[in-house]
Amino acid sequence: MKSKELQEAEFRSFALAYRDNLRRQAYLLCGDWYEADDIVQKSLTKLFAVWWRVDPVTAPAYVRRIVMNMYLSHRRLAWVRRERASDEMPPTRIDAPQEHVDVRVAVVAALDRLPPRQRATLVLRYWEDLSVDDTAAIMGCTSGTVKSQCAKGLSRMRRLLPEFALPVRA
Type and span of the H or E element at 148: helix 143-160
Please write the tens of the pLDDT for every residue from 43-61.
Answer: 999 999 999 888 888 899 8
| Closest-CA residue to 155 (of 124, 127, 115, 100) | 115
User: What are the boundaries of each domain within the chain?
Assistant: 4-76+99-160
Q: Over pLDDT 70: what percentage of the chain? A: 81
Q: Considering just the CA atoms, what is the radius of gyration of the chain in Å?
A: 17
pLDDT at 78: 43
pLDDT digits (tens, 9 = 90+) for 122-170: 988 988 888 999 899 888 899 999 999 999 999 999 888 888 766 655 4
Give the DSSP letter of residue 169.
P
Q: How far apart are the first and last CA of the chain?
A: 56
* pTM of the predicted structure, to 2 decimals: 0.59
Sign of CA dihedral 109, 24, 68, 64: positive
Q: Is the model more confident about 89 or about 152? A: 152
Q: What is the pLDDT of residue 138?
A: 87
Length of the chain: 170
Considering only residues 143 and 1, tell me which one the structure prediction assigns the higher pLDDT: 143
**Mean pLDDT, rounded, of the chain:** 83
CA distances from 128 to 24, 26, 77, 155 (A): 10, 11, 26, 19
**Which of these ranges, 94-98, 101-105, 159-163, has the smallest mean pLDDT?**
94-98
Q: Which amino acid is at 2?
A: K
Strands annotated E in 14-165? none
Architecture of the 4-76+99-160 domain: Up-down Bundle (1.20)
